[in-house]
Amino acid sequence: EGERGHHSGDVNAVTNGGKTTLAKNLQKHLPNCSVISQDDFFKPKSEIEIDTNGFLQYDVLEALNMEKMMSAISCWMESPRHSLVSTHSGSSEEIPILIVEGFLLFNYKPLDTLWNRRYFLTIPYEECKRRRSTRVYEPPDVPGYFDGHVWPMYLKHRQEVEDIPWEIVYLDGTKSEEDLFSQVYEDLIQELAKQKCLQVTT
C-alpha cells in the first residue's frame, strides 16, 4: 500500500499497448489526479548502449533515469495537491491519486511497495507490431528492431513480472479505449472507497 492518504496506481504495458491513452483518460475523470510517465525519463541517445546487432538498447531499465523518476514520485507524495499535471483543483476530502504509466515499472524493485493497484496492458505480437509501425520514433526504428530487440525484451520482462508475488490486473489491450477506461475506472473507484473507509476507521 502507498502512504496513507495517497493512492497510487500503476499502468504497465507492452510498447503501443495503450497505456498513455488510458492514463490520460483516467486523469480527466478522476478528481485530484496526477500522471507521471516513464517515457519522460529516457536517458539521451548518447548514453544508450548498443548490442552486438547494432540495436540501441532502449527497452531496458538502464536506458532510463529511474532515480530521477523516483524523485518525481517522492515530490508528489510529499505535496500531492500541488504537483505535476493535476487537472482538478480537488477538495480536501478527495484522496490525491497518482497514476504512473510505463513499460518497465514492475521490474524496478524500489517501486514495489508504492502501488495500491497494478495494471498490465497486453496485446498480441501481430497487433503490437502493427501499432509500432504506425508510430514515429526518434531515433526511428531500424529494420529488424522490433523482432530483434523490442519484442524479445517485452517477453523477457513479462516473464519477470509473472514471477512477482504482487496482485496484478491484466488488461486486454485489443479492447476499445472506452472498455478499458470503464474497467479500470470502476476498479479504482472501488479501491478509493476502501481507502476512504480506512481513513475513517484508523
Residue 123 lies in a domain: yes
Q: Hey, which residues are catalytic here?
A: 39
User: Which value, to the nearest 10 degrees, does the dihedral of the CA atoms of residues 68, 102, 24, 197 take?
Assistant: -80
Number of separate domains in the chain: 1
State the average pLDDT for the chain.
Answer: 86
Residue 53 lies in a domain: yes
pTM given for the model: 0.84
Degrees to nearest 5, angle at CA 12 with 169 and 50: 145
| Residue labelled with grid coordinates 488488461 | 171
pLDDT tens-place string over residues 69-117: 999 999 998 875 654 444 454 444 578 899 999 999 998 989 988 888 9
Domain span including residue 111: 15-84+94-201
Residue 1 has pLDDT above 70, yes or no: no
Residue 138 lies in a domain: yes
Write the single-letter amino acid at 120: F
The CATH number given to whatever domain includes residue 154 is: 3.40.50.300
More confident residue, 29 or 90: 29
Place 40 in a pLDDT band, splitting at 50, 70 and 90: very high
Query: In this predicted structure, what is the pLDDT of residue 170?
Result: 93
Residue 66 lies in a domain: yes
Judged by DSSP in three states, 120 sits in strand
Query: In this predicted structure, what is the pLDDT of residue 201?
Result: 54
Residue 126 lies in a domain: yes
Query: In this predicted structure, what is the pLDDT of residue 29?
Result: 94
**In the chain, helix, strand, coil percent, each to 5?**
45, 15, 40
Query: In this predicted structure, what is the pLDDT of residue 202?
Result: 46
How far, in Å, are 81, 105, 108, 131, 137 from residue 174 at the CA level? 34, 21, 26, 11, 22
Query: In this predicted structure, what is the pLDDT of residue 198?
Result: 66
Query: In this predicted structure, what is the pLDDT of residue 24?
Result: 94
Residue 175 lies in a domain: yes
Can you tell me the mean pLDDT for 47-76? 95
Residue 3 lies in a domain: no
The Cα–Cα gap between 141 and 134 comes to 11
Can you tell me the mean pLDDT for 56-72? 96
Residue 42 has pLDDT above 90, yes or no: yes
pLDDT tens-place string over residues 150-175: 999 999 999 998 888 888 999 999 99
Residue 37 lies in a domain: yes
